[in-house]
C-alpha cells in the first residue's frame, strides 16, 4: 500500500461517525447498545469505557503489529482487549460505583464486543499508530452518538427525564416500556429504519432528477 | 486448515516457530498481568472504601443511624465475631449489630428473594426482644419501573417497615385488622410487595433463632 | 429443588438471555433466517454453555480464588481453548455430528451469551449444580428465541415489505414485539 492511495487522515476520523458508523451501518456492538441505553448517564459511561478500551487496544495493536506472528494474532488481540476491559472495569468501579453497578456485567462483555476486535483485525493491525488512533476515536464517536441518541429517546420517553432532570414536566405519564428491554429493540429498530430510509432517499436523489425522485420516495414511505 | 503456499517470488512472512509463538503469547500474558495487577493495586483501596461506605450507609439507614456496628458472621448454629475458617470475608453471610453509646440498637440483616422480574436483595433492621422491624432498604432489584419499583420508591410503603412486627402479614389496602404484624401492600404491585415480605420472613425464620441466642453483652475483644 | 427449577425457568423465559438481557444477539440476528439452522445453532449453544458452566466452576473454585481480577482474561481464554479442543474432538470422533453442529462452534466462542453466562453465574455465586441448571436454562432460552425469530422470518419472506424496511430494522422491531410478549412470563415464579 503506497501512502498516496490512503485517504487523508481526517477521513479516518469522520468515517466512523456516519459512513461506517459501527452500530447503524456495521451492526456491531448491538449488545451494549440495547442493554445499557435505558438512561443517558449509562450510555455515556458505557461509551467512555468503549473509547478507553478501543484507544488502548488500537494503540498497542498498531505498535506491535510487526512482532506478532500471524498464527497467534487473534489470541494476542483478545488478550490485549481483555486487559484493557479489566482495567476499565476496575477504574469504573473505583470512580463511579453507582454507574458500575447499573452497567453490571456489560462492562466485562466489552471483551466480546465485535467493534473492538473488528477494528483491531480490520484496521489497527494494518495501519500506523496515528491512523489507528484516529480510527479508534472516530469509531468511538460514532458509537457514542448512537448510544446517546438511544439513551435520550429511551430516557425522555420512558422516564420523562434527561440525565435525571425532568424535561417533560410532572404531568407526563412515562412510557415505561421504553426503558424496559422491548423499548431497546423498538428504539434501535426505528432508528435503523429511519437511517435506511434517509440513505435510500439520498441515493434515489442522486440517481433520478429530484423532481421525480423526491415525491416518489416520500410516497413509498 | 492448510494455507495456500505463497508464490515463490513474494517474500512471504515466514511461518513462526513454536518457540516464537509461545514467547509472544507468554510475553503479552506477562505484560497483561503486570498492567492489571498495577491497576488493581491502585484502585482496590478505593473500591473497598466505596463498598464499606455503601454498607455503612445502608446499615445507618435501617438502624436509624447507630454510632457504630459490629460485623457478626452467620454459621450453622451461632453468630461469631471471627470469620469462620475457610470463609471469604467478602462472600460470607454476616449480620450487623448496631450500637448507640453502650446500648445495642438492633440487628441489620440482608435478605434475598425472587421478585416479579429478578432477585430482590434488601437489608432490614430488626429488634429481637420486641420482634419489631426498624427499617428496610432495597439494595438491588429489577422490578418494573412505575409499578414494582414502588417497593423502594413509595415512601409510605417503606415507612411501614420501621414499625411493623415480625412475622409480617401482607394485607390489601383497607382490608387489615389493625394488627401490629400487618403490612399494607402496594396496589398494583402486590407480587413485588409479597416478595419483600416473603424474603424478610424467610430470613428471620432462618437466622432469627441465632439472633435471639446471641449474647449482645458478650465482652468485646 | 424449587430453587433449581426457578433458576432454569428464569434463565429460559422470564429473564430470557436474548430477549430480556440482549445476550447472544449476533446469532439471533445472523442465523435466524431458517428454522433448521436456528435449531442447530441453539443446540450447539446449549452444549457450549454447559461446557462453559463446568469450566467456570473449576476456575472459580480452584484457580481464581486468589486473583479474582484476572477473571475476564481467564474466562475468555479458557472458554475459547475449550471450544477449540471440543471442536477438534468432535471432528475426529463423529464427522456427522461435526457437519451438523461443528460449523457453529467457532462462531459461538466470541458470542456474548457465553461470556455473559460465565459472568452472570459468577456474580450470582452459583455452585456447580446451580451453574449447570443456569446454563441449560439459558441455552434453552436462546434456542426458543432463535427458533421463534426464524419462524417469523420464514413467513416474512412471503410478505410484501416496503423497500427501505428490508433490513435489520424490521427484525429488531419484531424482536421488540417478542421481547414484549416474553415480559408476560414475569411473575411466573413469584410469591403467590
pLDDT in tens, B103-125: 889 999 999 888 777 788 999 99
Confirm whether C189 is domain-assigned: no
**Are the CB atoms for C71 and C48 separated by under 8 Å?**
no
Question: Average pLDDT, stretch B187-199?
Answer: 88
A chain contacts of residue B29, beta-carbon cutoff 8 Å: 79
* CB B207 within 8 Å of CB B73: no
Mean pLDDT over residues B80-105, rounded?
83
Please tell me the predicted confidence (pLDDT) of residue B107: 93
- Residue of B43, B51, B147 lying closest to A90 (CB–CB): B43
What pLDDT, on the 0 to 100 scale, is given for residue B6? Answer: 42
* Range of weakest confidence among A14-18, B72-76, B215-219, C120-124: B215-219
The cell for A42 is 449509562
Q: How would residue B160 be classed by pLDDT, with cut points 50, 70 and 90?
A: very high
* pLDDT, average across residues C112-121: 89
Does pLDDT of A154 surpass 90?
A: yes
Percent of chain A with pLDDT over 70: 91
Q: What is the pLDDT of residue C85?
A: 83
Cell numbers for C181:
410478549
Q: Which residues of A touch C115 (CB under 8 A)?
A: 108-109, 111-112
Domain spans in chain B, listed from the N-terminal domain onward = 47-83+92-213
* CA pair distance C15, C142, nearest whole angstrom: 11
**Which residues from A are below 8 Å from B51, CB to CB?**
97
pLDDT of residue A214 exceeding 60: no
Q: Greatest CA span in chain C, whole angstroms?
A: 59
Q: How far is CA B165 from the centre of its chain?
A: 23
- B-contacting residues in C 75-104 (Cβ below 8 Å): none
| pLDDT number for residue A2 | 44
Q: What integer pLDDT is reported at residue B4 of this predicted model?
A: 45
pLDDT at C141: 95
Residues of chain A positioned with their CB less than 8 A from the CB of C172 = 185-186, 188-189, 192
The range of the structural domain enclosing residue C91 comes to 2-183
Residue C21 placed within a domain: yes
Percent of chain A with pLDDT over 90: 37
Q: Is residue C122 situated within a structural domain?
A: yes
Task: Give B90→chain C minimum CA distance, Å.
Answer: 12
CA neighbours closer than 13 Å in the CB half-sphere of residue B16: 16
Number of H helices, E strands in chain A: 9, 2
Q: pLDDT digits over C151-192, tens only?
A: 999 998 888 888 777 778 899 999 999 999 998 887 676 544
Question: How does DSSP assign A100-146, residue by residue?
Answer: HHHHGGGTGGGGG-HHHHHHIIIIITTS-HHHHHHHHHHHHHHHHHH
A13 contacts: CB under 8 Å, gap ≥ 6: A134, A135, A137, A138, A141
Q: Is the pLDDT confidence value at B1 over 60?
A: no
Q: Closest to C70 (Cβ–Cβ): which among B36, B118, B197?
A: B36
Considering only residues A9 and C58, tell me which one the structure prediction assigns the higher pLDDT. C58
pLDDT for res C102: 67
- Which 3 state secondary structure label does DSSP give A217? helix
Q: Could you tell me if residue C169 is inside a domain? A: yes
Q: What is the DSSP string of chain B?
A: -PPPPPPTTS-PPPPPPHHHHHHHHHHHHHHHHHHHHHHHHHHHHHHHHHHHHHHHHHHHHHTTS-SEEEEEEE-SS-EESSPPTT--TTTS-EEEEEEETTEEEEEEEEEEEE-SSSEEEEEEEEETTTTEEEEEEEEE--PPTTTTTHHHH-HHHHHGGGT-BSSPEEE-TT-----TTEEEPPTT-HHHHHHHHHHHHHHHHHHHHHHHHS-TTPPP-
CA distance A108 to A23: 19
pLDDT value at residue A217: 43
Q: How far is B111 from chain C (nearest CA, A)?
A: 14
Q: What is the DSSP letter of B165?
A: B
Element (H, E) at B98: strand B94-100
Q: Which residues contact B72 (CB under 8 A, 6 or more apart)?
A: B79, B80, B81, B94, B95, B96, B97, B214
Distances (CA, A) of A153 to A12, A172, A187: 29, 15, 8
Indicate the SS3 state at residue C65. coil
> Higher model confidence: residue C133 or residue B78?
C133
Residues of chain A contacting residue C152, judged by C-beta atoms under 8 Å apart: none
pLDDT digits (tens, 9 = 90+) for B163-182: 899 888 988 888 888 889 99
Q: How far is Cα A189 from Cα B70, in angstroms, rounded to an integer?
A: 52
Q: Do A180 and B144 touch (CB under 8 A)?
A: yes
User: Taking the CA atoms of chain C, what radius of gyration do you get in angstroms?
Assistant: 18
C1, three cell numbers = 429443588
Q: Which residues of C112-129 are buried (b: 16+ CB within 10 A; e: fewer)?
A: bbbbbbbbbbbeeebeee
pLDDT at A213: 45
Q: Which of C65, C70, C190 sits opposite B114 (nearest CB)?
A: C190
**How far, in Å, CA of B192 to CA of B186, rounded?**
8
Q: What's the mean pLDDT in A162-169?
A: 86
A73-109 tens-digit pLDDT: 888 888 999 999 999 999 999 998 888 888 888 888 8
Do C69 and B198 count as a contact with CB atoms less than 8 A apart?
Answer: no
What cell was used for B138? 432495597
* Alpha-carbon distance C151 to nearest alpha carbon in chain B (angstroms): 27
- Distance of residue A24 Cα from the nearest chain C Cα, in angstroms: 10
Among B20, B44, B145, select the one facing A69 at the smallest CB separation. Answer: B20
Chains touching chain B through at least 3 C-beta pairs below 8 angstroms are A, C
Inter-chain touch C14–B191, beta carbons under 8 Å: no
Q: For an interface test with A, give the residue of C52, C72, C77, C107 to mutate (most A CBs within 10 A).
A: C72
Write the CA distances from A192 to A1, A15, C116, C170, integer angstroms.
34, 18, 26, 8
| ipTM for the whole complex | 0.87
Of C70, C187, C191, the CB nearest to B198: C191
The domain total for chain C is: 1
Across the interface, do A90 and B144 touch by the CB < 8 Å criterion? no
Grid coordinates of A197 = 430510509
Contact B114 C6 (CB under 8 A): yes
Q: Are C107 and C125 in contact (CB under 8 A)?
A: no
* Residue A37 main-chain phi, psi, to 5 deg: -90, 25
- Taking only the tens place, the pLDDT of each residue in C29-74 is 877 888 988 888 888 889 889 999 999 999 998 888 877 888 888 9
Q: Which residues contact A185 (CB under 8 A, 6 or more apart)?
A: A34, C172, C173, C175, C176, C179
* pLDDT on residue C2: 67
Contacts of C191 in chain B (CB under 8 A): 113-114, 191, 194-195, 197-198
Q: Hey, is B119 helix, strand or coil? A: strand
Q: What is the pLDDT of residue A216?
A: 45
Residue C151: its H or E element: helix C128-156
- Distance, in Å, from the CA atom of C135 to the CA atom of C117, rounded to the nearest integer, reads 7
Residue A192: its H or E element: helix A181-207
Residue for cell digits 455452585? Answer: C127
Q: Is residue C179 part of a domain?
A: yes
Query: Which pLDDT tens digit goes with each residue over A114-153?
Result: 788 888 888 998 899 999 999 999 999 999 999 999 999 9
Percent pLDDT > 70 in chain B is 90
- Across the interface, do C191 and B114 touch by the CB < 8 Å criterion? yes
Q: Give A2's DSSP letter.
A: -
Which of B29 and C103 is assigned the larger pLDDT?
A: B29
Query: Hey, is the C-beta of C6 within 8 angstroms of any chain B C-beta?
Result: yes
Given phi > 0 = left and psi -120 to 50 = alpha, else beta, which region is B142?
Answer: alpha
Angle at A183 between CA A177 and CA A189, to 5 degrees: 150
* Neighbouring-strand partners of residue B122: B111, B138
Question: Rounded CA gap, B92 and B100, in Å?
Answer: 26
Q: Nearest C-alpha of chain C: how many angstroms from B115?
A: 6
Alpha-carbon distance A204 to nearest alpha carbon in chain B (angstroms): 43
Give A-chain residues touching B25 at CB under 8 angstroms.
72, 75-76, 79
Q: Under a CB-based contact definition with an 8 Å cutoff, are residues B188 and B172 in contact?
A: no
Cβ-nearest to A174 among B36, B51, B146 = B146
> Residue A58: is its pLDDT beyond 60?
yes
Q: Is A136:A116 a contact under the CB 8 Å cutoff?
A: no
Instruction: With a cut of 90, say whether residue B201 has pLDDT above it.
Output: yes
- Name which of A71, A80, A176 is nearest B28 (Cβ-Cβ): A80
Whether A54 contacts A139, CB under 8 Å: yes
Amino acid at each position: 500500500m503506497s501512502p498516496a492511495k490512503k485517504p487523508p487522515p481526517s477521513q479516518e476520523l469522520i468515517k466512523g461517525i456516519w459512513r461506517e458508523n459501527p452500530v447503524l451501518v456495521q451492526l456491531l456492538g448491538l449488545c451494549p447498545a440495547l442493554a445499557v441505553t435505558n438512561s443517558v448517564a449509562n450510555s455515556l459511561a458505557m461509551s467512555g469505557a468503549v473509547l478507553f478500551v478501543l484507544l488502548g487496544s488500537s494503540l498497542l495493536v498498531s505498535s506491535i503489529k510487526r512482532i506478532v506472528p500471524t498464527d497467534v494474532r487473534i489470541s494476542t488481540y483478545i488478550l490485549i482487549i481483555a486487559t484493557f476491559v479489566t482495567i476499565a472495569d476496575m477504574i469504573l468501579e473505583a470512580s463511579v460505583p453507582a454507574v458500575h453497578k447499573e452497567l453490571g456485567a456489560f462492562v466485562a462483555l466489552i471483551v466480546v464486543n465485535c467493534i473492538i476486535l473488528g477494528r483491531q483485525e480490520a484496521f489497527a493491525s494494518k495501519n500506523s499508530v496515528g491512523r489507528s488512533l484516529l480510527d479508534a476515536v472516530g469509531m468511538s464517536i460514532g458509537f457514542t452518538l448512537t448510544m446517546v441518541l438511544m439513551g435520550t429517546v429511551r430516557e425522555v420517553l420512558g422516564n420523562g427525564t434527561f440525565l435525571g432532570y425532568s424535561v417533560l414536566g410532572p404531568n407526563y405519564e412515562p412510557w415505561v416500556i421504553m426503558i424496559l428491554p422491548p423499548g431497546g429493540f423498538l428504539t434501535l429498530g426505528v432508528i435503523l429504519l429511519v437511517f435506511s430510509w434517509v440513505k435510500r432517499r439520498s441515493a434515489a436523489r442522486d440517481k433520478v432528477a429530484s423532481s421525480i425522485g423526491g415525491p416518489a420516495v416520500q410516497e413509498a414511505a | 486448515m492448510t494455507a495456500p503456499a505463497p508464490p515463490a517470488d513474494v517474500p512471504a512472512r515466514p511461518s513462526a516457530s513454536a518457540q516464537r509463538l509461545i514467547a509472544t503469547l507468554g510475553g503479552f500474558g506477562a505484560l497483561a498481568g503486570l498492567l492489571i495487577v498495577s491497576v488493581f493495586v491502585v484502585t482496590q483501596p478505593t473500591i473497598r472504601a466505596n463498598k464499606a461506605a455503601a454498607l455503612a450507609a445502608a446499615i445507618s439507614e435501617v438502624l436509624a443511624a447507630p454510632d457504630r456496628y459490629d460485623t457478626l458472621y452467620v454459621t450453622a448454629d451461632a453468630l461469631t465475631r471471627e470469620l469462620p475458617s475457610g470463609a471469604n470475608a467478602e462472600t460470607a453471610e454476616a449480620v450487623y449489630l448496631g450500637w448507640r453509646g453502650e446500648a445495642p440498637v438492633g440487628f441489620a440483616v440482608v435478605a434475598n428473594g425472587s421478585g416479579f422480574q429478578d432477585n430482590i436483595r434488601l437489608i432490614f433492621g430488626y429488634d429481637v426482644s420486641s420482634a419489631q422491624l426498624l427499617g428496610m432498604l432495597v439494595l438491588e432489584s429489577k422490578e418494573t419501573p412505575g409499578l414494582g419499583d414502588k417497593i423502594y420508591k413509595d415512601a409510605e410503603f417503606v415507612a411501614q417497615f420501621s414499625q411493623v412486627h415480625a412475622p409480617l402479614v401482607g394485607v390489601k389496602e383497607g382490608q387489615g385488622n389493625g394488627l401490629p404484624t400487618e403490612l399494607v401492600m402496594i396496589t398494583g404491585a402486590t407480587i413485588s410487595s409479597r416478595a419483600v415480605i416473603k424474603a424478610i420472613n424467610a430470613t428471620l425464620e432462618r437466622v432469627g433463632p441465632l439472633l435471639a441466642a446471641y449474647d449482645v453483652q458478650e465482652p468485646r475483644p | 429443588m424449587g430453587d433449581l427449577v426457578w433458576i432454569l425457568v428464569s434463565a429460559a423465559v422470564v429473564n430470557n438471555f436474548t430477549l430480556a438481557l440482549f445476550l447472544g444477539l449476533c446469532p439471533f440476528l445472523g442465523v435466524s433466517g431458517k428454522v433448521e439452522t436456528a435449531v442447530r445453532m441453539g443446540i450447539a449453544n446449549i452444549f457450549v454453555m454447559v461446557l462453559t458452566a463446568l469450566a467456570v466452576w473449576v476456575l472459580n473454585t480452584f484457580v481464581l480464588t486468589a486473583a479474582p481480577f484476572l477473571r475476564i482474561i481467564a474466562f475468555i481464554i479458557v472458554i475459547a481453548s475449550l471450544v477449540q479442543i471440543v471442536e477438534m474432538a468432535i471432528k475426529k470422533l463423529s464427522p456427522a455430528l461435526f457437519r451438523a453442529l461443528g460449523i457453529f462452534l467457532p462462531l459461538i466462542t466470541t458470542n456474548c451469551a457465553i461470556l455473559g453466562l460465565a459472568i452472570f453465574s459468577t456474580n450470582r455465586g452459583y455452585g456447580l449444580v446451580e451453574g449447570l441448571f443456569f446454563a441449560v436454562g439459558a441455552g434453552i432460552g436462546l434456542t426458543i428465541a432463535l427458533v421463534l425469530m426464524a419462524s417469523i422470518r420464514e413467513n416474512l419472506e412471503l410478505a410484501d415489505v416496503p423497500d427501505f424496511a428490508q433490513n435489520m430494522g424490521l427484525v429488531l422491531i419484531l424482536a421488540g414485539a417478542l421481547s414484549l410478549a416474553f415480559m408476560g412470563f414475569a411473575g411466573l415464579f413469584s410469591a403467590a
